[in-house]
Structure 1
Amino acid sequence: MSNAFDLLVFDWDGTLMDSTGTIALSIQRAFVDVGLPEPTDTQARFVIGYGLTEAMAYLAPGADAPTIARVVEAYRHYYLAQDQSLVLYEGVREWLPRLREAGYPLAVATGKSRVGLDRVLAHTGLGELFEVTRTADEAFSKPHPAMLEYILDYMDVAPERALMVGDTTHDLQLAINAGTRSAAMTYGAHPLADMLPLSPLAHFDDFPALARWLLEA
């Protein structure tokens, strides 16, 4: 029996790794350090999934490029002090290999940088599970379709045969822009109410529920 999809593409932060709280707090501290108004938690969580420079520029639309660069560096200082202590969501380590063993090719499309993604893949030991990964500094930031289109082309998979799995409206809009289907994870950065208008195929409150759905499809 064939699988429901020929490719599963995962966001990283807020989908596979429990990092959204740390990211949001690091953004807030960075803005305070640079002397800019501190974003609310909701505002900081909204930009998770964007490339780092794009995220900071969105939150400080009147700031010039040197100021944004200072915010980015301050953010990195706070985030890197904690990233080795971040953990995968419950079930991710157990179920990702099962999905691959069931014949699902796996990929990652993330707002992280290449250096950041490679570091966390090495730290978690999950790198060998993914056929291809794409980061925000290798393509336009989400929700531009470029990073997902690259993955589809690399894997030679038609858009309608791929599923984008993410926890933000940016992930779901990325899927729409690239012509793929999507699944929403409700435990990450954006509330389900914001994601439902983007018509995900399904939504899940934990990773094992997603995996079981895929294996039973």
Structure 2
Amino acid sequence: MTNKLAVFDCDGTLVDSQHSICTAMVRAFDEAKLMPPERPAILSVVGLSLPVAMARLLPEAESDFHDHLAERYKRAFHALRQENAVSEPLYPGIADLVHDLDAAGWLLGVATGKSDRGLNLCLTHHGIVDRFVTLQTADRHPSKPHPSMLQTAMAEAGATPETTVMIGDTSFDIDMGLAAGARTIGVGWGYHAPDDLIAAGAHAVAMDSAELRGHIGAP
């Protein structure tokens, strides 16, 4: 019997980290003596691997400079952690949904543009890290929407595309899920508009955790 697997994006899907992400991005650009992007532009690239995100925010720069900015961002985010200034609250209903899916026999995973360290710290802080059997990050994979993260999650969980659902708040998540052959559910509380998720091909879009529960088929 093939396992049922629900894979979640992290930022904008499980947790609302926009304040910390935007603060770290502004610091990174400030330190490079560049005009920081506006908040909507920053949120539009959340979920991409950092160098790819920087390339979208600063397309006229060379790839080496994108890598340089990505490192500045990592240092800025680490500094926020040192200052106890990182804010990554779970969205309403997510903790209960994760618990109930796990109890119902679903296997759970995460596919995120975060680093291994950042994801582990986030999930551990909320006491849910042990609920997830597969954690895939930008440290070990090409950027979304490449399907590598989701394909590896399915392999580790013993799932198939037909028994897997990818849940995320950006078109990158939907594109990745479709590229891997999985069912895709968008969430309307994150960083891309619901219309963008529908346009990307999401099989459904949930506007709150109760609606998400229904789309997944959770108890």
RMSD: 2.1
Which residue in the other structure is 1:72 paired with?
Answer: 70
SS class of match (2:66): helix
Answer whether contact 1:102 1:215 (CA < 8 A) is retained.
no
Which residue in the other structure is 1:63 paired with?
Answer: 61
Which residue in the other structure is 2:130 paired with?
Answer: 128
Which residue in the other structure is 1:40 paired with?
Answer: 38
Structure 1 consecutive aligned stretches of length 4 or more whose deviation exceeds 6 Å: none
Residue 130 of structure 1, CA deviation: 0.5
Structure 2 vs 1, CA of residues 209 and 34 (structure 1 numbering), >3 Å: closer, same or farther?
same
Deviations 1:130-171 (A, max 9, x none): 011100111111000111111112222221221100000000
Residue 30 of structure 1, CA deviation: 1.9
Residue 105 of structure 1, CA deviation: 0.9
Which residue in the other structure is 1:111 paired with?
Answer: 113
Aligned length: 214
CA separation in 2, counterparts of 1:84 and 1:22? 6
Deviations 1:29-57 (A, max 9, x none): 32233123322222211110011122112
Answer whether contact 2:20 2:87 (CA < 8 A) is retained.
no
CA separation in 2, counterparts of 1:88 and 1:37? 31
Which residue in the other structure is 1:195 paired with?
Answer: 197
Which residue in the other structure is 1:26 paired with?
Answer: 24
The yes-or-no answer on 1:50 pairing with 2:52 is no
Answer whether contact 1:107 1:132 (CA < 8 A) is retained.
yes
Residue 61 of structure 1, CA deviation: 2.2
Which residue in the other structure is 2:13 paired with?
Answer: 15
SS class of match (2:91): coil
CA separation in 2, counterparts of 1:142 and 1:116? 17
Structure 2: tracts of 5 or more residues without a match: none
CA separation in 2, counterparts of 1:156 and 1:216? 19
Answer whether contact 1:20 1:188 (CA < 8 A) is retained.
no
Answer whether contact 2:204 2:215 (CA < 8 A) is retained.
no
Normalising by the residue count of structure 2, what TM-score does the alignment of the two structures yield?
0.88
Deviations 1:68-94 (A, max 9, x none): 344223323443315643211111112
SS class of match (2:6): strand
Structure 1: tracts of 5 or more residues without a match: none
Normalising by the residue count of structure 1, what TM-score does the alignment of the two structures yield?
0.89
Residue 208 of structure 1, CA deviation: 3.0
